[in-house]
Structure 1
Amino acid sequence: MFRTYLIAAIPALSPFASPSVYATQDKQDIERIVTTSSRFAVNDDIKALSITSVNQELLEQIGATHIEKALQSVAGANIQHGNGQEYLPALRSPVFTGSGACGSILTLEDGIALRAAGFCNVNELFEAHSEMAQRIEVLKGPGSVLYGSNAVHGVINVISQDPTLGSGYSAIDVGSYGYKRAKLQAGKDAGSYGIGANISMTRDSGYREDESVKQEKMTLRHRYDGQSWSVQNGIAYSNLNQDTAGYIEGFESYKDPELAKQNLNPGAFRDNRALRAWSKLNWHYSNATDIAMTAYARDQEMTFLKHFLPGTPIEQNAQHGAGINALVQHQLTPLWRLQLGLDSEFTQGSMTQYQENPTQGSAFLQATIPQGKHYDYTVNASQLAPFIALQYRQASWQVDLGARYEHIRYDYETHLQAGRTKEDGSECAMGGCRYARPPSAKTEFTDLSPKFALSYQFNENLVTYANVAKGYRAPQTSELYQLQRAQQVADLESETLDSIELGVKGAYSDLRFTLSGYVMEKDNVIYRNSDFFNVSQGQSKHRGLELELDYRLSDTLSLQTAIANALHTYEHEQLLGEQNIQGNIMDTAPRLITNTRLNWRASDSVLLSLQWHSMSKYFTDAENQHEYEGHDLLSVRGQWQVSPQLLATLRIENLTDEAYAERADYTSFSGDRYFPGRPRTALFTLRYEWD
Structure 2
Amino acid sequence: MIHIVYSFKSQLSNILIVFSLLLSLTAHAQIQATGFLAGQLTDDRNAPIGGVIVFTEDGRFSATADSTGHYQITLPIGKFKVVFSHLGYGKIHQTFTISESKVTNGSVRLTRQGNLLDDITVTGSAMPAELRTIASSISILKSTDPEMKQIQTIDDALNFIPGLSVGRSRGLTTTGTHTSVTLRGTGASNRTLILKDGVPINDAYTGGVSEWNSTATGSISRIEVVRGPGSSIYGSNSMGGTINIVTETPTQSPTLGMDVRYGSMNTFQAGAKAGKVLKNGFGIIAFAEYKKTDGYKYMADSLWKDYFQKPAMELLNVNAKISYQINPNSKLEAIMDYHLQKPVSGTTIIYDDKSTTNNYLLRYTGKNSAFNYSATAYYNNNDRTSTALKWNSKENQFNTPYYVSTVPIDIYGFIGKINKNIKNHSVTVGADIRLTRSVSEKSYGAQGSQNFSGNQNFTSFFINDDVAIGSSINLNAGLRYDNWQNVKGKFFDNMTGKDITIDYAKASSNVVSPKIGLVYRATEQIRFRSQYAMGFKAPNIYYLYNSAPLGSSFRLGNPNLKPERMVYSVDLGADFYVNNNLEISATYYASQYKDFNESVLIPASDVPSYFDPAGLPVRQYINIGKVKLTGLETSLRYKLNPHFTLIGSYFYNKSKILEYQSNPSYEGKEMDSNPHHTTSGGLAYDNPKIINVSLWARHTSKSFGDLENSENLVMDPITVVGLKVSKQIGKFAVTANVLNLLDKLYYGSYTSATSYYYAPRRSVNLGLSYSLK
Taking structure 1 as the reference length, what is the TM-score of the superposition? 0.82
Match of 1:445 in 2: 509
Instruction: Specify the code of the residue in structure 2 equivalent to 1:596.
Output: G
**How many Å apart are 1:27 and its aligned residue?**
7.5
Contact 1:438 1:489 in 2 (8 A): no
- 1:613 aligned onto 2:683: no
Q: What is the CA–CA distance in structure 2 between the aligned matches of 1:158 and 1:65, rounded to whole Å?
A: 15
SS of alignment partner, residue 441 of structure 1: coil
Structure 2 counterparts to residues 208-607 of structure 1, below 5 A: 208=297, 209-225=309-325, 226-245=327-346, 264-265=347-348, 267-286=350-369, 288-304=370-386, 315-333=405-423, 335-356=424-445, 371-374=447-450, 376-394=451-469, 395-414=471-490, 416=492, 422=495, 424-425=497-498, 438-483=502-547, 490-497=559-566, 498-508=568-578, 510-529=581-600, 530-531=602-603, 532-573=619-660, 580-601=665-686, 604-607=689-692
Structure 2: distance between partners of 1:201 and 1:601: 28
CA apart distance, 1:442: 2.1
Which one-letter code corresponds to 1:407 in the other structure?
N
Partner of 1:67: 154
CA distance in 2, matches of 1:148, 1:130: 27
The alpha-carbon deviation at position 160 of structure 1 amounts to 1.5
Query: Is contact 1:103–1:476 with CA below 8 Å preserved after alignment?
Result: no
Tell me: CA distance 1:93–1:679, structure 2 relative to 1, closer, same or farther (3 Å).
Answer: same
- CA gap 1:279/1:603 in 2 versus in 1, 3 angstroms: closer
Compare 136-145 and 436-445 and name the one that shifted more.
Answer: 436-445
Shift of the 126–488 alpha-carbon distance from structure 1 to 2, 3 Å rule, reads closer
Counterpart residue type for residue 207 of structure 2: C
Aligned partner of 1:139 among 226, 241, 246: 226
SS of aligned partner of 1:580:
helix
Aligned partners of 1:117 and 1:149 also within 8 Å: no
1:293–1:325 Cα contact (<8 Å) kept = yes
Q: Assess if the C-alpha contact under 8 Å between 1:382 and 1:408 holds in 2.
A: yes
SS of the residue aligned with 1:146? Answer: helix
The alpha-carbon deviation at position 94 of structure 1 amounts to 4.7
Q: Does 1:689 align with 2:765?
A: no
Q: Which runs of 5+ in 2 are unaligned?
A: 1-40, 48-111, 298-308, 391-400, 549-553, 604-618
2:521 corresponds to which letter in structure 1? Q
Q: Percent identity at matched positions?
A: 20
Contact kept? 2:205, 2:409, Cα under 8 Å = no
The 8 Å contact of residues 272 and 302 in structure 1, kept in 2 or not, is answered as yes
Q: In the alignment, is residue 91 of structure 1 matched against residue 91 of structure 2? A: no
Q: CA deviation at 1:161?
A: 2.1
Q: How does 1:94-109 map to 2 (within 5 A)?
A: 94-96=186-188, 102-109=189-196
Instruction: Determine if the alignment matches structure 1 residue 660 to structure 2 residue 746.
Output: yes
Q: Deviations over 1:395-442 (max 9, x none)?
A: 21111111100111222242626xxx636416xxxxxxxxx9742432
SS of aligned partner of 2:133: coil
| 1:483 positional shift | 4.5
Distance 1:61-1:239 versus aligned 2 partners, 3 A rule: same
Q: Secondary structure at the match of 2:208?
A: coil
Shift of 1:299: 1.4
| Aligned-residue offset at 1:674 | 2.7
Give me the whole-angstrom Cα distance separating, in 1, the residues matched to 2:323 and 2:732: 28
- Answer 1 or 2: higher relative contact order, Cα 8 Å, separation at least 6: 1
Letter in 1 for 2:585: T
Rg larger in structure: 2
CA distance in 2, matches of 1:171, 1:103: 32
Give, in angstroms, the shift of residue 294 of structure 1.
0.6
Shift of residue 48, structure 1, vs aligned partner: 0.5
Code of the aligned partner of 1:212: A
Question: Could you tell me which residue of structure 1 aligns to residue 76 of structure 2?
Answer: none
Deviation at 1:651, TM superposition (A): 1.4
Query: Deviations along 1:594-615, whole A, 9 cap, x unmatched?
Result: 1110112456342211111111
Question: 2:759 matched to 1:677?
Answer: yes
Distance 2:158 2:373 in 1: 31
On the 8 A contact 2:142/2:148 being kept in 1, the answer is no
Aligned to 2:87: none
Query: How far did residue 592 of structure 1 move?
Result: 0.9
Residue 312 of structure 1 deviates from its aligned partner by 6.8
| Counterpart-to-counterpart distance in 2, 1:411 and 1:77 | 34
Unaligned runs of 5+ in 1: 8-25, 97-101, 246-263, 358-370, 427-435
The AA in structure 1 aligned to 2:137 is S
Counterpart of 2:258? 170
- Contact 2:270–2:289, Cα closer than 8 Å, also in 1: yes
CA contact (8 A) 1:401 1:451 kept: yes
Q: Per-residue deviation at 1:164?
A: 5.6
Q: 1:549 to 1:329 in 2, by over 3 A?
A: same
Structure 1 match to 2:287: 198
Distance in 2 between residues matched to 1:407 and 1:307, nearest whole Å = 42
Q: CA deviation at 1:489?
A: 6.2
